[in-house]
Amino acid sequence: MSKSAQPLFHLAFPVTDLEQARSFYGDLLGCSTGRESDRWIDFNFFGHQLVAHLVSPEDHPAAATNAVDGHAVPVSHFGVILDWDVYETFVARLQATKVEFVIEPYLRFEGRRGEQATLFLHDPSNNYLEFKAFRDIDMLFDKDIDSY
């Protein structure tokens, strides 16, 4: 059994249509698929395992938001932190497909400690995803928020 230098995460989440999930995660985001059944699909989400589980629309949770930088950020969301150059290429690819952003790509803390680029999307089942990149990845867990 091989060991990864970095632990991988696994996230199971609800979707209301598996084929729409396949199109969003596979075609739009470029995630390959793994095992699947008529009730779920495994996706390779930037090296991590996402499992889309089919639920009826009435069983899908609603999304509350919090105000962050003047944006209504969905409280329930997941995503990935990309290398800055990879993020910029990813954003360009999304923009070329005319994807609808929940929060358009923008810079937080521009020119300051913790500068980061971020954007939010939602999938066809209204699961929210955040993609971000840090100018200096060492700021990922920085606690000195007063300097922001």
pLDDT at 145 over 80: no
Tokens of 142: 């920085």
All domains of the chain, ordered by start, with CATH? 7-58 (3.10.180.10), 61-148 (3.10.180.10)
Strand 116-122 relative to strand 128-134, pairing: antiparallel
Query: Mean pLDDT of all residues in the chain?
Result: 92
Which tens digit of pLDDT belongs to each residue from 57-102?
A: 999 887 789 998 889 999 999 999 999 999 999 999 999 999 999 9
Q: Is the pLDDT at 142 greater than 90, yes or no?
A: no
Chain mean position to CA 66: 17
Q: In 1-148, where does DSSP find H-type helix?
A: 18-21, 84-96
Residue 148 has pLDDT above 50, yes or no: no
Which pTM value belongs to this model?
A: 0.89
Residue 32: per-residue pLDDT: 98
Of the candidates 2, 11, 77, the one whose C-alpha atom is nearest the C-alpha of residue 41 is 11
pLDDT in tens, 92-120: 999 999 999 999 999 998 988 889 999 99
Q: How many CA atoms lie within 13 A of 141 on its CB side?
A: 0
